[in-house]
Structure 1
Amino acid sequence: MSYVDGLLARTPPAIRRLAMRHHELIKFAIVGGTTFIIDMAIFYSLTLSFMENKPVIARVISGVVATIASYFLNREWAFRDRGGRQPHQEMILFFVISGIGVVLAAAPLWVANNLFDIRHGVSTTSLVLIDFVLGFILGNILQMAFRFWALRKFAFPDELAEELAPIPLHTGAESHRDADTDTADDTPQSDDNGPTRRVS
């Protein structure tokens, strides 16, 4: 049992049911939080040193490194019960989707720097705050929403679960018809001498 599974086992039943219903989203968010720290540490290490005037490039570099870590964490933990594709297809799709996510994460910074030129005449403290809000709050919201949808649909499709889906049960109307048929088989035909009586 993993640490997370043990933690869930000690939670109230209502919370446990909710967590189990959305377990992939919760695990994906935990992976996202871990790679967020990796991403932010690399980004600020670059922008506060030799890439001070190149925040978009720094954002792309940090995003690529975080994406590599994200692949292994998502594959081996968050989406480990999914699959259906060959490993090389899965990896290609993951990195294509994540590459689009990196572009989405860098888009707010690109707009702010190239269309509004916000870096001129701004203090270092203000730049750190602006980069954090645009690159790590707004940018990550955009890319995480896209990646969660796209990874589940394309990279880690739940094909096995679809193949093993149970055959639907009879509808209520069909059950009533079956019951009527069974009753008719067990009930003797009425005659002109009196009402029909069911035989036990």
Structure 2
Amino acid sequence: MTVVESVLSHTPEPLRAVLIKHRELLKFALVGGTTFVVDNGVWYLLKLSVLEDKPTTAKAIAIIVATIVNYVLNREWSFRTRGGRERHHEAALFFVISGLAVAVNLVPLWASRYVFHLELPHVSRFVQETADFVSGSIIGMLLAMVFKFWGFKKWVFPDELGQRRRDSHRTDTTA
């Protein structure tokens, strides 16, 4: 029994049906939560040490590390029943979509620091760090997550096999 099946077996029926219907989104969200921890751990490690004066660079490096973890987890767990492309083609598409998502993720942090000047000496250290976290780790990551879920389902892990299964099921039931 998989972890998901184990959790679902202990879930009340009305909620279980919703979770099963949206299991891909749920798995994607769990992978996102895991990579959120990786992203922020690497970001703060870099930002509070070797890249203290370059928070956007530190965030970009953290996103790249988290993106690699994200690919492996999404490929092997979230979207394992989708796709059908050659692995190198799929990986290339994944990293193109993820690269665009890096830009989406960095825009709020960049705006916070360099448009709204929510940085030292214009504001206190606490305000700067809070603004960095909200803009870089909440707003930016949520925007990137929505973009990635859409892009992954549409281009990286298309449901070609699932569509063929649905089509063959329809012809079996109408025959």
**Category of TM-score, reference length = shorter chain:** over 0.9
Displacement, 1:87? Answer: 0.6
Asked whether 1:35 is paired with 2:38, we answer: no
Counting aligned pairs with the same residue, the percent is 45
Structure-2 residue corresponding to 1:187: none
- Unpaired runs of 5+ residues, structure 2, are none
Report the TM-score, using the length of structure 1 for normalisation. 0.81
Displacement, 1:111? Answer: 1.5
Which runs of 4 or more aligned residues in structure 1 lie more than 4 Å from their structure 2 counterparts after TM superposition?
none
Larger of the two Rg values belongs to structure: 1
Report the TM-score, using the length of structure 2 for normalisation. 0.92
Structure-2 residue corresponding to 1:127: 128
Displacement, 1:50? Answer: 2.5
Asked whether 1:55 is paired with 2:58, we answer: no
Q: In structure 2, how many angstroms separate the alpha carbons of the residues matched to 1:127 and 1:114?
A: 12
- Unpaired runs of 5+ residues, structure 1, are 171-200
Counting helix residues as a fraction of each chain, which structure ranks higher?
A: 2
1:164-194 CA-to-partner distances (Å, cap 9, x unmatched) read 2233566xxxxxxxxxxxxxxxxxxxxxxxx
1:52-96 CA-to-partner distances (Å, cap 9, x unmatched) read 221111110000000000000000000011012111110000011
Asked whether 1:113 is paired with 2:149, we answer: no
Residues matched between the structures, number: 170
Q: In structure 1, how many angstroms separate the alpha carbons of the residues matched to 2:111 and 2:144?
A: 16
Structure-1 residue corresponding to 2:13: 13
Task: Indicate the SS of the match to 1:167.
Answer: helix
Q: In structure 1, how many angstroms separate the alpha carbons of the residues matched to 2:162 and 2:127?
A: 49
Displacement, 1:102? Answer: 1.1
